[in-house]
Amino acid sequence: MGKLKRGKKLKNGKKAADVFRVCAIMLFASLIRCAAVYFFIVPNKFAPGGVTGAASIIYHLTGGKIPAGLTIIVLNIPLLILAFFKMNKTFALRSLIVVVILSVGVDVLGMLNVPQYGIEEGADKMLAAIFGGAISGASLSFVFKVNASNGGTDIVGAIIQKRYSATNVAWFIFIFDAAIALLGGILLNDFVPVMYSFVAMFVSSKVSETVTRGFTTAVTFTVVTKKPNELGGKIIAELHRGVTAVKSVGLYTGEESTLLQCVVRKRQVSEFHRILKETDGEAFAFAMPATEVLGQGFTRPLEKRENEKN
C-alpha cells in the first residue's frame, strides 16, 4: 500500500509539474508576443499578416479609436470556434488563453501610454521589423510546443495540416499573410511599411524554425571505407558516437566496401576529420547538416554497453 500511495503521489506531482510548465510557457509566449505587437508592429504600421496585421491596419485607419487588442480578440473568435470543432478542445482552449493574454496586454500597455518604438522621428524601421519578427517567431515556436497557437492564420494552418497532412501549409499561410500586408499598403496609402512587413514575416519564420528545431545542430557523416571496424571503433572510442555499418558494392568498380553512417555534434567535426584521415585516407566521405537529432547522446544520456559495465 505504501508503494502504491508513493507512486500515486509521484504521478500527481508529475502531472502538476506538467500543467505548471505548460501554463508558464503559454504566459511567457503571450507576453513576448504582446511586446512584439505593441512596441514594434503597431506603431510602425506593419501588417505582417493574419489577425495581427488586420488589427494594425484597423488601428491606423480609425486613428487609434479601435484598440488593436480588441480587434485581435474579436477577429479570433470565429477562428477559435472553428478550432474547437475542427481540432480539439485542448488546442482551442489554450489558443484562447494565449489570444486573451495577448489582446489584454496590448491594450493595457496602450492605456498606460507605455512608450513605443518607431513613433519618434528618425527611428530605424528595419530594426523594428527585425525585432518584431524575431520576437513573434520565438513566441510562435513556444506555443506550438504546448499544442496551442497565437490565433489567426496559425489556427487556419493547423486545421489545413490536420486535414491535408501532405499539403505545404506554409505556402497557404504566406499567401494569406502577404495579401493582408498588401491590403494594408493600399488602405493606408503607404507601401513602405509593406516592405518592412515582409522582412518581419521572413525573420519570424526563420526564428520560429530555429527555436522549434532547437539550437543544437549536428552533422551526419556517410563514409565508404574498407576499414569499417578500425574506423568505427575509433569513432566510438574517441567521439562516443554510435556508428551504423551497411555492406555496399560500388556499381562503377564492382568492389565490395562498407558504408558507415554517424551523427556527430558540430564541435566534433574537426576530430572526425582527423580520425578519418589517420585511419583510412582512401575513404570516400560526405557530410550533411542534421538540424534535429533525437535519441541517445543528444536528447538523452548514452546508455553504457554491457562490456563497459563489467
State the first-to-last Cα distance of the chain, in angstroms, to the nearest integer.
36
CB distance 87 to 66 below 8 Å: no
How many helices and strands, by DSSP H and E, does the chain display?
11, 4
- Return the closest-CA partner of residue 216 out of 266, 283, 147, 254: 266
The pTM assigned to this predicted structure is: 0.71
Model confidence pLDDT, tens digit, residues 125-182: 999 999 999 999 999 889 888 888 888 887 887 777 667 655 556 677 778 888 889 9
pLDDT score recorded for residue 106: 95
User: The domain 218-309: what is its CATH number?
Assistant: 3.30.70.120
Task: Return the domain boundaries, the chain.
Answer: 2-213, 218-309
Model confidence pLDDT, tens digit, residues 35-77: 999 999 999 999 887 899 999 999 999 998 999 999 999 999 9
More confident position, 49 or 299: 49
* Helical (H) or strand (E) element with 54: helix 50-61
- Using alpha carbons only, give the angle 59, 65, 67 rounded to the nearest 5 degrees: 55
Q: How far apart are CA 280 and CA 43, in angstroms?
A: 61
Cell of 82: 472553428
pLDDT score recorded for residue 156: 80
